């Protein structure tokens, strides 16, 4: 079956994708590139990031001029400021922000959770995203407008037990998205996407050794792919979604319709 190539409806726009060196972040960066945007990806580890940036650049004819990899820690305020400033210097604007960077070092009952690890979950998954948006707002979006997509999760809608701290942080992202949409409209649209289990290295612990069993609980009978999420993000940041803001769109294979979170 021949793949349908999306129209290049982001030509001339500039995007920053955090946590963009692998998995969902990488797929989002590739999607935005395919639609005509220039893209900065950022992540902590410099060498894998450089390799990912080089691979992305090879996916489009003028990729070397449209892809920038900037190492940086999402939890560090100075790093966030420098990443945004460098993106604007390099490409001349910052029209799209995708807050994808996230961590999940806490599994199991919350009564046994290390509180420093819980703080890290909220700092990287929630506070850092707000920090990136503050910088983007100051550097470009506040005056010129833009589109923001935050990565939430179905765990932010429904308790899972296994990843409770992560789910609580993603619930905060959903609520934060609504608040930001109200405060920043009409110039800046802010939405979120909420995936269920997507086959990435990040989510391996959730499906390894039981992928078929887990997939059978989803109405679509498969787990998600990074591209499933990326295509939705590409739509939400485009003009085709110009009257959509404050929404958290589920991309979950229907799993929440079954009354569970996967």
Taking the CA atoms of residue 25, residue 30, residue 32 and residue 37 in that order, the dihedral angle to the nearest 10 degrees is 120
Number of continuous H segments (helices) and E segments (strands) in the chain: 11, 7
The SS3 of residue 57 is helix
User: Is 166 in the active site?
Assistant: yes
The residue with tokens 């999420």 is 229
Neighbours of 209 (CB within 10 A): 9
Show Cβ contacts of residue 1 under 8 Å, excluding neighbours closer than 6 positions.
Answer: none
Catalytic site residue from 26, 107, 132, 166: 166
CA dist 163 and 104 (Å) reads 8
Catalytic residue list: 166
């Amino acid at each position: 079956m021949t793949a349908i190539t999306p129209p290049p409806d982001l030509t001339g726009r500039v995007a920053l994708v955090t946590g963009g060196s692998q998995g969902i972040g990488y797929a989002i960066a590739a999607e935005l590139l395919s639609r005509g945007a220039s893209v900065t990806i950022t992540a902590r580890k410099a060498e894998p990031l450089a390799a990912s940036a080089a691979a992305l650049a090879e996916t489009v004819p003028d990729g070397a001029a449209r892809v920038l990899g900037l190492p940086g820690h999402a939890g560090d305020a100075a790093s966030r400021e420098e990443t945004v400033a460098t993106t604007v210097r390099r490409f001349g604007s910052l029209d799209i922000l995708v807050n994808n960077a996230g961590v999940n070092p806490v599994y199991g009952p919350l009564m046994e959770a290390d509180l420093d690890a819980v703080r890290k979950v909220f700092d990287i998954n929630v506070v850092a995203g707000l920090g990136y948006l503050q910088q983007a707002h100051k550097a470009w979006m506040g005056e010129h407008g833009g589109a923001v997509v935050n990565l939430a999760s179905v765990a932010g809608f429904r308790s899972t037990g296994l990843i409770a701290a992560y789910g609580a942080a993603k619930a905060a992202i959903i609520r934060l998205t609504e608040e930001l949409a109200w405060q920043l409209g009409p110039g800046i649209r802010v939405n979120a996407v909420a995936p269920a289990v997507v086959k990435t290295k990040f989510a391996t612990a959730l499906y390894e050794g039981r992928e078929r069993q887990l997939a059978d609980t989803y109405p679509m009978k498969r787990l998600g792919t990074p591209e499933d999420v990326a295509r939705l993000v590409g739509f939400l940041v485009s003009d085709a979604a110009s009257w959509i803001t404050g929404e958290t769109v589920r991309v979950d294979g229907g799993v929440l319709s079954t009354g569970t979170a996967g």
